[in-house]
A = this chain, B = another copy of it.
Amino acid sequence: MALIVHKYGGTSMGSTERIRNVAKRVAKWARAGHRMVVVPSAMSGETNRLLGLAKDLMPDAHSAQAQRELDMIASTGEQVSVGLLALALQAEGMQAVSYTGWQVGIRTDDSYTKARIQSIDDKRIQADLDAGRVVVITGFQGIDPDGSITTLGRGGSDTSAVAVAAAIRADECLIYTDVDGVYTTDPRVVPEARRLSTISFEEMLEMASLGSKVLQIRSVEFAGKYRVPLRVLSSFTPWDIDLNEEARSGTLITFEEDEKMEKAVVSGIAFNRDEAKLTVLGVPDKPGIAYQILGAVADANIDIDVIIQNVSHDGRTDFSFTVHRNDFKRVTELLETEVVPKLGASRVIGDPRICKVSIVGIGMKSHVGVAARMFRALSEEGINIQMISTSEIKTSVVIDEKYMELAVRALHRAFELDGQAA
């Protein structure tokens, strides 16, 4: 019998009928003898409804005092969810109690709307578990040192669930979601994509950061830091399927590199088309140019992804990087008005119609020639590579976005990922 955390997304909590099904599923686990903690999201649509009301009153809520109020408002969605789920569990005959983040000491910093969890006090949770209760805890939120409610940003409930699992040293944290696991790539692009029964934490981290939307990246980081075994599985199975079958379903994110993992050089293909490319041409090649260009962008609070600096010719170089496509216009203006004149660079060129395609695999650590195999597969399809970025367990290329599906399919085939579930 184990100590288990379940996390349910907004879709699973979307109506009282669905909440009743969640309660039945949790009750099944509790009746099998497991100690259960549940972290539900707000009912689907609720957070948007609440923030819509706020936006009506203040279209640009950027100040700290305004963002504090946004968190006050948005955090109620999860508070309603935990109360409803606790009631539904009680209606199933279970002992159940709900808590907000502040009630179980989920302490965060004071970065309203995007706070980070600093600590969780597990005493109250453990006492309730000892008393045989199912404990239902709000996702997405905590309390700052000043006693104000904070939220963790969109998708924060995944992080809450993992953080609670770490605090109580849970045996496994199960993330119930609208997909049935982690796939080698998006099945909508590659019908032959297959579900991975296990994936290493490091690979999952790359997949999440490269645009696979299954898990919020901070929750994966948290799981890694505290070595919480994490399972992504479907919330659409009937609540009364066999518990052992359910417990083995989905994808387990593990910390042990077993022999099976060694076999696959590449575990998955990630991609996203949310980025845009910018190049500053004719930059005088002297120390500090990267800082002068990217510092200005970072000061404007804009995230930078891939960065490439080419070798210089005649004392001048070209400097390229990618940003989120929403920031493309702002960054272009920033470079043209502030950076280019100051550096004495020639000019800025940009392209918002790019995409990034990445191969991810822990096997790349010990296999040579993986990147070359990737480049050959792309070349055979006539796809021009614009930028390359590598890490120990992934290789990313930036290409024209019109080739995205073609590239993903070619790579999926080249690394022999097509086929049955592993």
A interface residues (Cβ-Cβ under 8 A, vs B): 16, 19-20, 23, 50, 53-54, 56-58, 61, 63, 65-66, 68-70, 72-73, 75-76, 79-80, 82-84, 86-88, 90-91, 95-98, 100, 102-103, 147-149
* Nearest 10 pairs of A and B residues by beta carbon: A73-B83, A72-B83, A76-B76, A16-B56, A69-B83, A57-B88, A57-B87, A58-B87, A58-B91, A69-B86
Q: A68 touching B97 by the CB < 8 A rule? A: yes
Question: Which of B16, B56, B79, B95 has a CB less than 8 Å from the CB of A53?
Answer: B16
Q: Let me know if A95 and B57 touch, CB within 8 A.
A: no
Do the beta carbons of B72 and A98 come within 8 Å of each other? yes
Q: Which residues of B contact A23 (CB under 8 A)?
A: 57
Q: Is the CB of A84 within 8 A of B16?
A: no
Contacts of A57 in B (CB 8 A): 16, 19-20, 23, 84, 87-88, 91
Q: Distance (Å) between the CB of A187 and the closest chain B CB?
A: 34
Tell me, in angstroms, the Cα distance from A98 to B75 when the chains sit together.
14
Residues of B near A88 (CB, < 8 A) are 57-58
Measured between beta carbons, the chain B residues less than 8 angstroms from A54 are 83-84, 87
**What is the CB-to-nearest-CB distance from A277 to chain B, in angstroms, rounded to a whole number?**
38
Q: Are A50 and B80 in contact, with the CB atoms below 8 A?
A: yes
Q: Which residue of B lies closest to A65 (CB)?
A: B90
Q: Which residues of B contact A98 (CB under 8 A)?
A: 69, 72
Contact partner, A103, options B19, B66, B97, B147, Cβ 8 Å? B147
CB <8 Å contact, A90 and B63: yes
Q: How far is the CA of A145 from the CA of B301 in the complex (A)?
A: 43
Q: Are A84 and B90 in contact (CB under 8 A)?
A: no
CA distance A153 to B258 in the complex (A): 58
Copy number in this complex?
Answer: 2
**Given contact pairs A20-B57, A58-B90, A58-B91, A73 touches B80 in the complex (Cβ within 8 A):** yes
Asked whether A84 and B53 contact (CB < 8 A) given A68-B97, A91-B58, the answer is yes
Which B residue's beta carbon lies closest to that of A147? B103
Task: Please indicate the chain B residues that have their CB under 8 angstroms from the CB of A73 in the complex.
Answer: 79-80, 83-84, 87
**In the complex with contacts A53-B16, A68-B97, A97-B68, A61-B76 CB distance below 8 A:** no
| Shortest beta-carbon distance from A144 to chain B in Å | 11
B87 touches A82 (CB 8 A): no
Bound: A7/B285 CA distance, A: 66
Cβ contacts under 8 Å, A87 to chain B: 54, 57-58, 61, 66, 69-70, 73
A53-B84, A57-B84, A65-B95 known; 11 other A-B pairs, CB under 8 Å?
A20-B57, A53-B80, A57-B87, A57-B88, A65-B90, A65-B97, A70-B87, A72-B79, A72-B82, A73-B87, A79-B79
Separation of A50 and B50 alpha carbons in the complex (Å): 14
What are 20 contact pairs spanning A and B, CB under 8 A? A16-B53, A16-B56, A20-B57, A65-B86, A65-B90, A65-B96, A65-B97, A69-B83, A69-B86, A70-B83, A72-B86, A72-B98, A73-B79, A73-B80, A73-B84, A73-B87, A76-B79, A76-B80, A79-B79, A103-B148
Tell me the smallest distance from the CB of A306 to a CB of chain B, in Å. 38
Q: Report Cα–Cα, A363/B66, bound state, in Å.
A: 52
Least CB distance from A143 to B in Å reads 9
